[in-house]
Amino acid sequence: MTKVTHEFDLYGKHYALEAGELAKQATGACLVKCGDSTVLVTAVVSKERKDYDFFPLTVDFIEKMYAVGRIPGGYLKREARPSEKATLTARMIDRPLRPSFPDGFRNEVQVVATPLVADQIHSVDTICVMGASAALTVGGVPFEGPLACVRIGRNPETGEFLVNPTYEERDTSDLDLELAGSSTFISMLEAGAKEISEEDMLAAMAFGQEAIAAFCEEEKKFFAKWEEANGPIVKKEYVLDEPIPEVHDRIFAHFDEMSAALKDADKLSRMGKVEALKESIKAEFTEDEQAQWSRAIAVELKGLEKHAMRKMVVETGERVDGRTPTEIRPIMVKPDYLPLVHGSGLFQRGQTQVLSICTLGMLNEWQRLDTIEPVDGKRYIHHYNFPPYCTGETGRMGSPKRREIGHGALAERALLPVIPSEEEFPYTIRVVSEVMESNGSSSMASTCGSTLALMDAGVPIKRPVSGVAMGLIQEEGKTVVLTDIQGLEDFLGDMDFKVTGTTKGITAMQMDNKATGLTPEILRKALMQAHEGRMFILDKMLEQIPAPREHAKDTAPQIISLQIPTDKIRDVIGSGGKVIRGIQEDTGATVDIQEDGTVFIAGTNGAGEAAAERIKAIVKVPEVGEEYTGRVVGIQPFGAFVELLPGKDGLLHISRVAKGRVDKVEDVLNIGDEVRVKVLEVDEKGKISLDRLDKPEAPAGSGHNGHDEGNGHERSERSGERRPRARRHPGDRGEGSSRTNNGGENGEKRQPRRHHEAQ
């Protein structure tokens, strides 16, 4: 096997495809690059055919932290379960690959994408589809390739579309559209957008289809080089599950019975009738026939149900629940559904019911992301749970499955463009959507329920968001676009196309398409029909809660934002965190201080305001002319130290404690006394000089009780006893002997027992 490399430039980016050197024992392997970002994609097809009635395809994408020069966190120091981003990337690879394999393919296929280098400039996700397509092709696997995936961004100033934009370009883009498919049709779509119009989205999709075709052409050039070096690529023969005419004819003879069983608006009732019919049809086969044709019988029974449902729609225009193609199921909306929680909303459409709950928290509760992408984390989080009971089944409860992660990400993406900034709303926001019952499009119900919960919590979203799922039936040369599809129409239809947005434009989309004849006209019809549907749903929501509540609920934390000088941060924190802990313990509030001096305070029932006042007092610098009621916290022979604010003392000189001459400060003041003072001076070192307001008269004889510069004694502060002291030169008086009226000059030559320097 000879190593082959094909390098090319497209849309301003450099790419490379390489095979023949790594992972040569796999069925096929390809190294794909964009810039320096490098991913190894391998494909292995099992030698034996599995006894399944479905195609067993598995796709894995495991982020390798060495790709960005980091060691994984945690005790084991190795990659554990995939991150949400890794799961979403694996789904993105799977979705275009799955419909490209022939019907009846039952050999197990595993595709593994291993990112080796992530250059933090070019994303590694979209190129994986091209790598998988190349690996399958050089491995001789039969599928409808080549396939490719592109990300389309847009410069909001010029309107120019960008193909596979860098992370920096994506930061300024108002569109993030991922498309995958072949040169002639789109099979997978994911989009996030800042409320762009349907026309702009259609233009982006058309441009993306052209870009996919360009990458497919480059793949063909790579395959030509491969064949020159290693000989012709021969498609391997795999035994397919072929229809057995006798089984088909006997089962499809019950077409009318299946059509009758499907006509029931209640999901569980309809499923019961269909399963009972299937069992009765299956019983017509002998035990030997069932053993011989078990897989074929299961496939044909599924095919009978699919054909009956689809023919009903295209021939009569009626769906299994009696609706017309554009009709939306009955809607129920209940905001403020739960007590005490910060926000909640119940949304029901037909037999799909979702309860969404919003929780508000401090900004330091944001979710940190440990991925190979240059993204630290996020402050708006949406989680989606799909328990077994929502479909009337039993099952294991545990960590979320790929489908739950994907649906939660879609609803999160739908609302992200309308979430207020940190400056507007300094909270971390988490919404959890609990699916209570499901019969199609629970992700769109989650989007609507989340909008209700956010508005109920008082989150000032820019505009409310609603969503609807569209379907497609192409049968016997006829095409019907369906609004608000239910589970059966998703499972047996040709397209699942979800669209979310506001009155201004689209915020998110997701599409899985099995139909190769999806023309621009059909896409336009689907988007316009979706617009009508989501506006209808939005009106129903706004009837119950027309706007976000003006205030958060009492149970939600009130978050106050302050800005303090950075040189005051240490004062608020205190030695070993003593001060900030004391504030939190005393008030019950939570305090978070940022490096730039931004302080976020969260608390309920006035706790936040109390903590804010404490912090303001700590960082407050008294100014000349301000008046305070302070407490005497220290007494020296030359005056009293008065606490103006927590940690802020000023010197009230002995000459200013009373009217007239005072020999001892204690004759007028004692520790603990409250006194009204005015700030006279704040020197360059922050030392504060005070004057007493409403001075009392000096006690009689106070000025003649031995306050003498030269008597060689001073009175002890604690005991009042005299103690000898050294004589000083008259020109070198200490603080205690100064009798000037300039209080600002005192206390600088001798360190008092208590430190009271203003910080």
pLDDT per position as a tens digit, 209-247? 999 999 999 999 999 999 999 999 999 999 988 889 999
Across the beta sheet with 343-349, what order do the strands follow? 331-335, 343-349, 352-361, 428-437, 380-385
**DSSP 8-state code for residue 699:** P
- What is d(CA 732, CA 742) in angstroms, rounded to the nearest whole number? 16
The pLDDT value recorded for residue 254 is 95
pLDDT per position as a tens digit, 506-526? 999 999 988 776 788 899 999
pLDDT per position as a tens digit, 318-347? 999 999 999 999 999 999 999 999 999 999
Q: What angle do CA 42, 28, 86 make, to 5 degrees?
A: 15
Q: Three-class SS of residue 324? A: coil
The pLDDT value recorded for residue 477 is 83
Q: Which long-range contacts (CB under 8 A, 24 or more apart) does 301-308 make?
A: 301/251, 302/53, 303/248, 303/251, 303/252, 304/251, 304/252, 304/254, 304/255, 304/258, 305/258, 305/262, 305/274, 305/278, 305/492, 306/492, 307/252, 307/255, 307/475, 308/255, 308/258, 308/259, 308/262
Residues 492-501 have a mean pLDDT of 94
pLDDT per position as a tens digit, 148-180? 999 999 999 999 999 999 999 999 999 999 999
- The gap between the terminal CA atoms of the chain, to the nearest Å, is 74
Closest to 382 (Cα-Cα) out of 355, 409, 354: 409
Does residue 388 have a pLDDT over 50? yes
- What is d(CA 170, CA 156) in angstroms, rounded to the nearest whole number? 11
Bigger pLDDT: 310 or 756?
310
- What is d(CA 12, CA 10) in angstroms, rounded to the nearest whole number? 6
The pLDDT value recorded for residue 703 is 61
The one-letter amino acid code at 555 reads T
The pLDDT value recorded for residue 718 is 34
Report whether 496 belongs to an annotated binding site: yes
When pLDDT is cut at 50, 70 and 90, the band that residue 73 belongs to is confident
Closest to 494 (Cα-Cα) out of 513, 517, 516, 520: 513
pLDDT per position as a tens digit, 739-757? 333 334 343 434 444 444 3
- What is d(CA 538, CA 288) in angstroms, rounded to the nearest whole number? 56
Report residue 666: phi and psi, to 5°.
-65, -20
Chain-wide mean pLDDT for the chain? 89
DSSP string, 549-580: -SS--TTSPEEEEEE--GGGHHHHH-GGGHHH
Does residue 539 have a pLDDT over 90? yes
Report the range of poorest mean pLDDT among 37-51, 260-274, 632-646, 731-745: 731-745
pLDDT per position as a tens digit, 682-702? 988 889 999 999 899 888 876
Does residue 386 have a pLDDT over 70? yes
- With both helix axes pointing from N to C terminus, report the angle between 245-252 and 294-316 in degrees, rounded to the nearest 10: 50
Residues 454-463 have a mean pLDDT of 97
The pLDDT value recorded for residue 443 is 95
Q: Which residues contact 634 (CB under 8 A, 6 or more apart)?
A: 640, 641, 649, 671, 752, 753, 754, 756
Residues 529-552 have a mean pLDDT of 96
Q: Hey, CA dihedral for 73, 77, 80, 82, is it positive or negative?
A: positive
Residue for token pair 């058309």? 206
Full-model pTM: 0.82
The pLDDT value recorded for residue 623 is 87
Does residue 68 have a pLDDT over 50? yes
Closest to 143 (Cα-Cα) out of 175, 98, 88, 199: 98
Q: Which residues contact 645 (CB under 8 A, 6 or more apart)?
A: 617, 618, 620, 622, 628
Q: Hey, CA dihedral for 667, 668, 669, 673, is it positive or negative?
A: positive
Report whether 490 belongs to an annotated binding site: yes
Give the rounded percent of residues in the chain with a pLDDT score beyond 70.
92
CA R_g for the chain:
37
CA 548 vs CA 334, 468, 540: distances in Å: 14, 22, 15
The pLDDT value recorded for residue 734 is 37
Beta pairing class for 343-349 and 352-361: antiparallel
CA 113 vs CA 30, 121, 124, 226, 517: distances in Å: 10, 19, 10, 21, 30
The pLDDT value recorded for residue 527 is 96
Q: 4 near 22, Cβ under 8 Å?
A: no
pLDDT per position as a tens digit, 397-426? 988 999 999 999 999 999 999 999 988 999
Question: Which tokens go with 507?
Answer: 């915020």
Residues 447-455 have a mean pLDDT of 98
Residues 30-48 have a mean pLDDT of 97
The pLDDT value recorded for residue 498 is 96
Report the range of poorest mean pLDDT among 368-377, 622-631, 637-646: 368-377
Bigger pLDDT: 126 or 1?
126
Beta pairing partners, 434: 355, 385
The pLDDT value recorded for residue 742 is 38
The pLDDT value recorded for residue 686 is 81
According to DSSP H, which parts of 342-463 are helical?
A: 402-415, 442-456
Q: Hey, CA dihedral for 447, 448, 450, 451, is it positive or negative?
A: positive
